[in-house]
Structure 1
Amino acid sequence: MNNLSLTQSELQRLLKVYFGLVLAVALCFYFVLAFLGYEALTAAWRAISYALTCVTFIVGVFFKLAWRFPRIARWMRRPIVHGVWRGTLSSDYKLGDKAPLEIPIVFVIRQTYLTISIESFTKFQEGESKLEALIQNGRTEATRLSYVFELRRQYQGENKLTTGAGDLRLINDSKHLKGHYWTNSPTFGELQLELISRECDGVDCFEVAERIWPTTSIKSPSA
């Protein structure tokens, strides 16, 4: 089960809207049922039941799908990061006198209005987020995606688990993510990612992304 990625004020606002809608819809059902001749208590009970069912279904569909329309997302001040992102991981890790590593990487971010999950894939390593937060500064409108993750490396007999954290800024009309990460190895580095698709279905490893988008390359966005 994914963690909620809403702030406390956002969650409180959603609960107020939800119960307000239930009350409004229940009143409409009540007047219709009363007009049809139902007793007051029976009409009230049925109206509340119908309202809870209808509003829960509509809100569920909205939170999962409808809010992703760009205009609705901007109106609700909930940036969209859902999709497949591809780019470069630049690490401070060095092997001898060689230059720092630069590795192609793919992020698969699945987002509903309430939750976010992140998977990352390189040729020899995969990871997933354990805690996520989409943070928007109300004064500057800057948006950051922060997360805690685990990496699993299984290569040439090695079976290694690494934990870390990342902090990425959403820039360039929400088409790029750029920022830094840290691990307990200890290593740190920079990530630059470009949105290549809003469709995540079936993208479950680096090879699949490489096969579907073989020529996609990251461009260096300006901060």
Structure 2
Amino acid sequence: MKKTIAIRVIVGVVVLLFVVSAWMQDGKPDWSALKLFSTAVLLCTVIFNLWDFLLWRLPLVQRIPGVGVARSVRGTWKGTLTSFWTNPETGSSPPPKTVYLVVQQTASLVSVKLMTDESKSTSALAKVSEVDGSVLLTYMYLNKPDLRVEHRSRIHHGSTVFDVSGNPARRLKGHYWTDRDSKGELDFVERDKKNLADDFAEAAELFEEAG
């Protein structure tokens, strides 16, 4: 949505400039300038997309103060999920497990996917923001368990808040809460910036190759 609005603003500005220039030739209309209209719109669109998909996350741009770009956390992260849920039958909590977080991010949009060996969570709303000097990754999600574990783990909604450490980002640490009255901690310290895994197995292979 933000990307669409931004493109419309750019196009609107280009149109306005050409219309004004057309009436600035000795006070009479001169529509020859409009021949460059399509080229100008294309150029603006290319520049915007370069910024939205690439330029904003370059290390140099990320470090420039006052630019107003979000911290780049894009990539596949490997970390640990620690659940605080207590099994009523045993009185104990499940052991920590390895999980993977995939963040797709442009200058204007963020989407998050958390994958475990039993389920996948996909964000409905997500953003990277700065609050009181701290950089946060926050999102709401829908979790869908694998069919084989649905008998003990139903579909649910939840939310997650991460503190982002470092520039470039080197750690995501935070908490999650669900509508099943469960909560826990998440800690990610390994990151593959280039690859965005589609599932748990692919993510595991990424870090096995890196290791």
Regarding TM over 0.5, the answer is: yes
Stretch of structure 1 that moved more, 184-193 or 46-55: 46-55
Return the alpha-carbon distance in structure 2 between the equivalents of residues 80 and 195 of structure 1. 15
Return the alpha-carbon distance in structure 1 between the equivalents of residues 63 and 112 of structure 2. 22
Which among 140, 151, 154 is matched to residue 146 of structure 2? 154
The answer to whether the 8 A contact 1:91-1:190 is kept is yes
1:111 aligns with 2:105: yes
Which among 70, 77, 80 is matched to residue 68 of structure 2? 77
After superposition, give the CA deviation of every residue in 1:96-133 in whole Å (9 maximum; x if it has no partner).
13344412110000101110111111111111000012
- In structure 2, the residue matched to 1:53 is 42
After superposition, give the CA deviation of every residue in 1:13-40 in whole Å (9 maximum; x if it has no partner).
x68x94798489869xx79xx9xxxx95
1:4, distance to aligned residue in structure 2 (A): 4.7
Once superposed, what is the RMSD of the aligned Cα atoms? 3.2
Give the gaps of 5 or more residues in structure 2. none
Identity %: 23
1:196 aligns with 2:191: yes
1:23 to 1:84, Cα distance in 2 relative to 1, 3 A: same
Return the alpha-carbon distance in structure 2 between the equivalents of residues 4 and 165 of structure 1. 23
> What aligned pairs does 1:122-141 form with structure 2 within 5 A after superposition?
122-137=116-131, 140-141=132-133
> What aligned pairs does 1:1-223 form with structure 2 within 5 A after superposition?
4=2, 18=10, 22=14, 41-75=30-64, 76-78=67-69, 79-95=71-87, 96-137=90-131, 140-156=132-148, 158=150, 160-173=154-167, 174-201=169-196, 203-214=197-208
The answer to whether the 8 A contact 2:83-2:93 is kept is no
1:150, distance to aligned residue in structure 2 (A): 0.6
Return the alpha-carbon distance in structure 1 between the equivalents of residues 17 and 50 of structure 2. 17
Moved over 6 A (4+): none
Q: Secondary structure at the match of 1:61?
A: helix
Aligned length: 197
Give the gaps of 5 or more residues in structure 1. 6-10, 218-223
The answer to whether the 8 A contact 1:93-1:101 is kept is no
Q: Secondary structure at the match of 1:214?
A: helix
